[in-house]
Chains A and B, each alone.
Chain A
Amino acid sequence: MKKIRAAVIGPGNIGTDLMYKIFRSPYLEMGLMTGIAESEGIKRAASLGIPVSIEGVDAVLKREDIKIVFEATSAAAHCHNAPLLKAAGKISIDLTPAAVGPYCVPSVNLDKLLAEPDINMVTCGGQATIPIVHAIERVAGAEYAEIVACISAKSAGPGTRANMDEFTETTSKAIESVGGADKGKAIIVLNPAEPPLMMTNTVMVKIKKKDVTIEAIRASIDQILAGLAEYVPGYQLRVPPILEGDKVTTIVQVQGQGDFLPAYSGNLDIINAAAVTAGERIAQRLWKGGT
């Protein structure tokens, strides 16, 4: 099978890690790394033999062969690029908070989004917790779901730091629209401990069904975990679900694959892994002759 060519816009840490993940992909091929200035990321990609450009989105638009575009820039940049990419018939996988297209959490709703021109990858905390919210919701209902994402200070780049509100607001919305909770709340905490802590997430859900057993909840979570393991091998349950009255609590940990970023930055790894997984599924659809 011929690989589908992809471009990464934004040669920062996220973009570079995406590039390494694409190298491992049986379905995607790294066709272009593009930014808006000379940078370490551009040099690195060039040294690995990848075509590079500093003309941003324009470089992508000039390339007929590129079908899938990973946007690892900023919300403002993607809002600008999205209509151009769409008009050129390219599919955007958006890792910024722009959310031009629908939210995508692969283990929950990717199947329904394969024909979209633009999908948004929510947030790292959303990718780590929404599958669990969904797993609980589908067997027990969810009146309210709350998540606490703790990431190491070292893994929180300037983008995350300048946009804490976008993180909490986007994650809360996706807990509702993708996770299925009537009301969602997201909290993020940065911890500067050394050595850096692994990304840890607590999920708490107020369930609706009174007769549901903890075994049924556990089974639903285990099924979701099996799906997640395919793209985030370092995802694991730290505290299995506990049922207290109508409240379910569970804690998960995400260890990154260490492609480009260190293993403790499971937060960055999971959003990138989710994005590449989405890209691969879209590539398979394109390859099968869909449009």
Chain B
Amino acid sequence: MDQKIFVVDTTMRDGSHALKHSYTVEQVTSIARALDESHVPLIELSHGDGLGGSSYTYGFSAVDEFELLQAAGKVIKNGKLTVLLLPGIGTIEDLKRARDCGAQAVRVATHVTEGDVSAQHMKAAKELNMMAVGFLMMTHMASPEMIAEEAKKMESYGADYINLADSAGYLMPEDVKLRIEAVKNAVQIPVGFHAHNNLGMAVANSLIAVQAGASYVDATLCGLGAGAGNTQIEVLAGVLKRNGYETGLDFYRLMDTADQLVRPMMLRPQVVDSGSLMLGYTGVYSSFLLHVYHAAEKYRLEPRDIMVELGKRKMVGGQEDMIVDVAYQLASK
């Protein structure tokens, strides 16, 4: 087998959640350099909630993301510096600034059923000569057929590939397979997958996605990411190699970077604790985790109860503000 798989690193974007958006210029410079030297083709960096995410709602960045982008842009020689943009949070103005800092690709993320809000930003990316990726979040909340329709819309706006995110870490391998296949059959462009490890399925689901036809997979050093984290890049590199897929990644270099560079930066172990488990079990957006812990402490509630209620209310990505609402309503009962 010689199918080429593109592994997209998001240590400095999704991983930013786990560090409470505290990345420094020194940290991103060293991570970006190591990833580039490990031959990672796309290296994503922005606030965890994408460009413009620094806020009360999602947490303020310790260092302005454009400063971080500029630093990473200086050391990335071979890969593409990539940013995430959620329409409604980040703007085209932010995208232009990111491009000026060296970003060459943008992933425009919307809730799985709302792909059409990406049209404006996708068009802008193309005008800026950037690679544009259609990124559908919370794909457990829609059927494979519905997802295929949204993917087709994004393809029509000029997407270079479609990325399906299991943002709640909820999907089972069979669900992943059906979703990747449905989109693969509906569009002419490549398909990718973004996992969360809330049910301990991230690496397995990523492998299933690749076997179902995905050619892009998201991963992070040490599995750093929202909730229980993402697919661990050094593990994925080994697993894909064992299964005969060509990634071009420097397996040993990634392991060393994870051990020596990233693990010492971590604020908490990236494990499936009961809070993360409940995210995956109830289908709640992974980035909610640390905000739920904060609200649970303030209102003296069980984090689990807040998550169950958020799941019942069908809250989507970006609705971190509703954690306070839920906590307040539960505490007033």
Which residues from chain A sit less than 8 Å from chain B, CB to CB?
Answer: 146, 148, 150, 153, 161-165, 167-169, 185, 187-193, 197, 200, 202, 204, 206, 238-239, 242, 247, 249, 251
Cβ contact within 8 Å between A192 and B114? yes
A164, B57: Cβ atoms closer than 8 Å = no
For the complex, give the distance between the alpha carbons of A238 and B111 in Å: 25
B57, B92, B93, B316: which contacts A148 (Cβ < 8 A)? B57
A251, B120: Cβ atoms closer than 8 Å: no
A165 to B93, CA, bound (A): 9
Among B57, B91, B120, the residue within 8 A (CB) of A162 is B120
User: Is B273 close to A, CB under 8 A?
Assistant: no
B322 CB-CB contact with A under 8 Å: yes
- Set of chain A residues within 8 Å of B317, measured between Cβ atoms: 189
| Contact yes or no, B113 A251, CB < 8 A | no
* Cβ contact within 8 Å between A189 and B88: yes
Assuming the A-B contacts A187-B88, A187-B89, A192-B111, are A164 and B319 also in contact, with contact meaning beta carbons closer than 8 angstroms in the complex?
Answer: no
- Pair A150/B322 contact, Cβ less than 8 Å: yes
Q: Is B238 an interface residue (CB 8 A)?
A: no
Cβ of A204: which chain B residues have Cβ within 8 Å of it?
Answer: 56-57, 321
Main SS of the interface on chain B? mixed
Lowest 7 CB-CB distances: which A-B pairs, in order?
A202-B321, A193-B314, A164-B87, A188-B88, A204-B56, A148-B321, A189-B318
> Chain A residue with minimal CB distance to B89?
A187
Cβ-defined partner of A187 (8 Å) among B55, B316, B322: B55
Q: A146-B56, A153-B113 are contacts. A163–B120 as well, Cβ < 8 Å? A: yes
Instruction: From known contacts A146-B55, A189-B316, infer whether A168 and B91 are also in contact, taking CB-CB under 8 Å.
Output: yes
Return B311 CB to nearest CB of chain A, in Å: 11
The answer to whether B114 and A193 have CB atoms under 8 Å apart is no
A153/B55 contact (C-beta < 8 A), A148-B321, A189-B88, A239-B324 known? no
Given contacts A153-B113, A164-B117, A185-B55, contact A192 B316 (CB under 8 A): yes
Q: How far does the alpha carbon of A150 sit from the alpha carbon of B92 in the complex, in Å?
A: 21
- The verdict on B119 contacting chain A, using a C-beta distance below 8 Å, is yes
Chain B residues positioned under 8 Å from A197 (CB to CB): 313
Contacts of A150 in B (CB 8 A): 319, 321-322
Given the interface contacts A148-B57, A200-B325, A251-B321, does A165 sit within 8 Å of B91 by beta carbon?
yes
Known: A148-B319, A192-B114. 15 other contacts (CB 8 A): A146-B55, A150-B322, A161-B117, A162-B116, A167-B88, A168-B89, A187-B57, A187-B89, A190-B316, A193-B314, A200-B325, A202-B321, A239-B324, A247-B56, A249-B56
Chain B residues 208-252 with CB under 8 Å of chain A are none
Which B residues are in CB contact (< 8 Å) with A169?
91, 93
Which residue of B has the minimal Cβ distance to A249? B324
On whether A162 and B316 interact (CB within 8 A), knowing A168-B88, A192-B111, the answer reads: no
A202 to B313, CA, bound (A): 16
Query: Within the complex, what minimum Cβ distance (angstroms) separates A18 from chain B?
Result: 25
Query: In the docked arrangement, what's the CA distance between A200 and B87, Å?
Result: 18
Contact partner of B117 among A185, A187, A190, A242, CB < 8 A?
A190
Distance in angstroms from B229 CB to nearest chain A CB is: 24
Q: Is the CB of B324 within 8 A of A187?
A: no
Quick check: is B281 within 8 A (CB to CB) of the other chain? no
Is the CB–CB distance between B328 and A153 below 8 Å? Answer: no
Residue pair B324, A251 in contact (C-beta under 8 Å): yes
* Shortest Cβ distance from residue A98 to the other chain B in the assembled complex, whole angstroms: 17
Interface pair B318/A187, CB less than 8 Å apart: yes
Most buried by A among B55, B92, B313: B55
In the assembled complex, the CB of B331 is this many whole angstroms from the nearest CB of chain A, namely 10
The one of B57, B116, B322 that contacts A146, using a Cβ cutoff of 8 Å: B57
- Asked if B186 is at the interface (CB within 8 A of a chain A CB), the reply is no
Over the window 168-197 of chain B, the binary record of Cβ atoms lying under 8 Å from chain A Cβ atoms (1 yes, 0 no) is: 000000000000000000000000000000
